[in-house]
């Protein structure tokens, strides 16, 4: 059963029975039948549809934002921002796909030689709940621009968002079958990956899910892109602007109630400024106000599910038992909904779950480093490698350290965020492949070499 439940109240809003075998087969065949005509659709027409999609998103922004908030708990203003970002992504690819997909002439020994970018076919997008529109759009829009079709297997707790996404593509004029939302359970995904009508897979999810998907895709020799977990380092050096660093640390860590793969999960602060940074961070955290996410005055949303809150609390309690110092929160909040108090753990060290695992919730963790080199060592001492931030007034120092960090993205004096213009993805257990930019668009194309010798 696919259940839509309001995280702020616990109330069940809707329930959907998973599709039958016949319903799934019908959808797969429709997607397969639609893909060739879509790939043959002139690129300028595909781009025009993307521009129209952006207009539809903006026209219905408040309605769609409210759906996001009621289904996964995000603050309403953050939900509006998410819809706006989806519109931006549509416009970005509408404006740049022609250049990204243009034939690339490469001189060789032939009379003519070039690279051509052709759609692969149908991409299975296995998407998470925490950014229920944006993470779908950042996968689907470049894939569609390139001429692929998309089958959306969304998280089971956001079925209404999945259906709304399918509906808005249809309303914007996309042909039937080009993007379909699948009302299926997780156990059905393995056979979908194996199906000959699916040519590639994109997953945003846990490390465990990524390993399973990669294994199945590999066994069928199918391309996959994995955007998995993150435990991003937020490195504060002795010469950082501490006021700005604290402000951005709070935004990065507590946006979306901390449920973001690129949140500042490990705040690594050199000892020279650690006490001052922690004091400022604690004061800012204590100002956060949990409450109804539809209320514009609320500054901290609930977690999306009760099991997520329970897991987070176990990680926090383990870390405290092993010596971490709780300076704020560190407990579930009483009352309805899946709220967790805005929290701060200081002096996190190796051996604690907060040091080694991804904490997916509103808990800031401070790790104290002796100096710059020790901070770099700690930042790289993780199985994850998604993003990282460095805070210093010396931009040359920041750039030098950025080159030494083992991750897919580094932001100097800025919080890690996704931007359609820049590639997004990680290394190590954070996955492989890239989304966004021309790199993301070219993940799901056949890069075909054409070589012609004049006779």
Q: Write down the catalytic residue from 47, 261, 365, 407.
A: 261
DSSP secondary structure string for all residues of 410-437: EEETS-----TTS-B--SGGGEES-BSH
Is 118 one of the annotated active-site residues of the chain?
A: no
CA distance 221 to 132: 29
Rounded to whole angstroms, the Cα distance separating 360 from 323 reads 20
Q: Which residue has the tokens 């820049």?
A: 422
Q: Phi/psi zone of residue 419: left (φ > 0), alpha (ψ -120 to 50 degrees), beta?
A: beta
At CA 416, angle to CA 411 and CA 420, rounded to 5? 100
Three-class secondary structure of residue 271 per DSSP: helix
Question: Taking the chain, what is the end-to-end CA distance rounded to the nearest angstrom?
Answer: 64
Identify the CA nearest to 227 among candidates 205, 259, 252: 205
* Cα 181-218-381 angle, rounded to 5 deg: 95
DSSP-derived pairing of the beta strands 200-204 and 122-126 = parallel
3-state helix, strand, coil split of the chain in percent (to 5) is: 45, 20, 35
Domains and CATH numbers, the chain: 2-229+429-452 (3.40.605.10), 232-383+387-419 (3.40.309.10)
**Catalytic site residue from 71, 227, 358, 443:** 227
DSSP three-state, residue 71: helix
Which of 221, 219, 226, 43 has the alpha carbon at shortest distance from 148? 43
Q: Give me the pLDDT at residue 99, please.
A: 98
Contact between residue 235 and residue 375 where contact means Cβ atoms under 8 Å apart: yes
Count CB atoms within 10 A of the CB of residue 17.
Answer: 9
Clarify whether 261 is annotated catalytic.
yes
What pLDDT, on the 0 to 100 scale, is given for residue 455? 82
Residues forming beta bridges with residue 326, ordered by sequence position: 345
Cβ neighbours of 392 (radius 10 Å): 21
pLDDT tens per residue across span 125-184: 999 999 999 999 999 999 999 999 999 999 999 999 999 999 999 999 999 999 999 999
Q: pLDDT tens digits for 300-355?
A: 999 999 999 999 999 999 999 999 999 999 999 999 999 999 999 999 999 999 99
Q: What is the pLDDT of residue 264?
A: 98
Is residue 316 a contact partner of residue 374, using CB atoms and an 8 Å limit? no
Report how far residue 35's alpha carbon sits from residue 142's, in angstroms, rounded to the nearest whole number.
Answer: 15
3-state secondary structure 313-324: HHHHHHHHHCCC
> What is the CB neighbour count within 10 angstroms for residue 242?
19
**pLDDT number for residue 411:** 98
Alpha helices, DSSP H, located in 60-157: 61-72, 76-100, 134-145
pLDDT (0 to 100) of residue 7: 98
Q: Which residues of the chain have pLDDT under 70?
A: none
- Pairing between strand 104-105 and 112-119? antiparallel
């Amino acid at each position: 059963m696919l259940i839509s439940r309001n995280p702020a109240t616990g109330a069940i809003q809707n329930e959907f029975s998973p599709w039958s075998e016949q319903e799934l087969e019908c959808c797969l065949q429709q997607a397969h039948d639609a893909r060739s005509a879509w790939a043959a659709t002139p690129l300028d027409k595909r781009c025009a549809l993307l521009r129209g999609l952006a207009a539809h998103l903006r026209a219905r922004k408040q309605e769609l934002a409210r759906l996001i908030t009621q289904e996964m708990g995000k603050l309403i203003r953050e939900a509006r921002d998410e819809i706006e970002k989806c519109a931006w992504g549509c416009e970005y690819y509408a404006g740049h796909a022609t250049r990204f997909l243009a034939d690339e002439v490469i001189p060789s020994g032939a009379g003519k030689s070039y690279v051509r970018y052709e759609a692969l076919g149908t991409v299975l997008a296995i998407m998470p709940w925490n950014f229920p529109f944006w993470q779908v759009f950042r996968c689907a829009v470049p894939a569609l621009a390139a001429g692929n079709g998309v089958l959306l297997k969304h998280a089971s707790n956001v079925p209404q968002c999945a259906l709304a996404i399918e509906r808005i593509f249809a309303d914007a004029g996309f042909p039937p079958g080009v993007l379909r939302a699948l009302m299926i359970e997780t156990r059905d995904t393995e056979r979908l990956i194996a199906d000959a009508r699916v040519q590639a897979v994109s997953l945003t999810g846990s490390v465990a899910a990524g390993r399973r998907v990669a294994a199945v895709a590999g066994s069928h020799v199918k391309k996959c892109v994995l955007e998995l977990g993150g435990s991003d380092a937020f490195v504060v050096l002795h010469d950082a602007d501490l006021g700005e660093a604290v402000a951005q640390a709070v935004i990065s860590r507590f946006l979306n109630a901390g449920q973001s793969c690129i949140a500042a999960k490990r705040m690594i602060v050199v000892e020279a400024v650690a006490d001052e940074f922690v004091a400022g961070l604690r004061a800012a955290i204590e100002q956060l106000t949990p409450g109804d996410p539809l209320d514009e005055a609320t500054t901290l949303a609930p977690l999306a599910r009760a099991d997520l809150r329970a897991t987070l609390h176990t990680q926090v309690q383990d870390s405290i038992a092993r010596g971490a110092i709780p300076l704020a929160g560190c407990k579930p909040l009483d009352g309805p909904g899946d709220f967790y108090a805005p929290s701060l753990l200081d002096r996190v060290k190796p051996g604690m779950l907060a040091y080694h695992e991804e904490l997916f919730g509103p808990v800031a963790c401070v790790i104290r480093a002796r100096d710059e080199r020790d901070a770099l060592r700690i930042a790289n001492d993780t199985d994850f490698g998604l993003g990282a931030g460095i805070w210093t007034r010396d931009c040359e120092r920041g750039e030098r350290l950025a080159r030494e960090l083992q991750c897919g993205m580094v932001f100097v004096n800025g919080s890690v965020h996704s931007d359609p213009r820049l590639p997004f993805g990680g290394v190590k257990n954070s996955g492989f492949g890239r989304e966004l930019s021309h790199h993301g668009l070219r993940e799901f194309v056949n890069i075909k070499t054409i070589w012609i010798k004049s006779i």
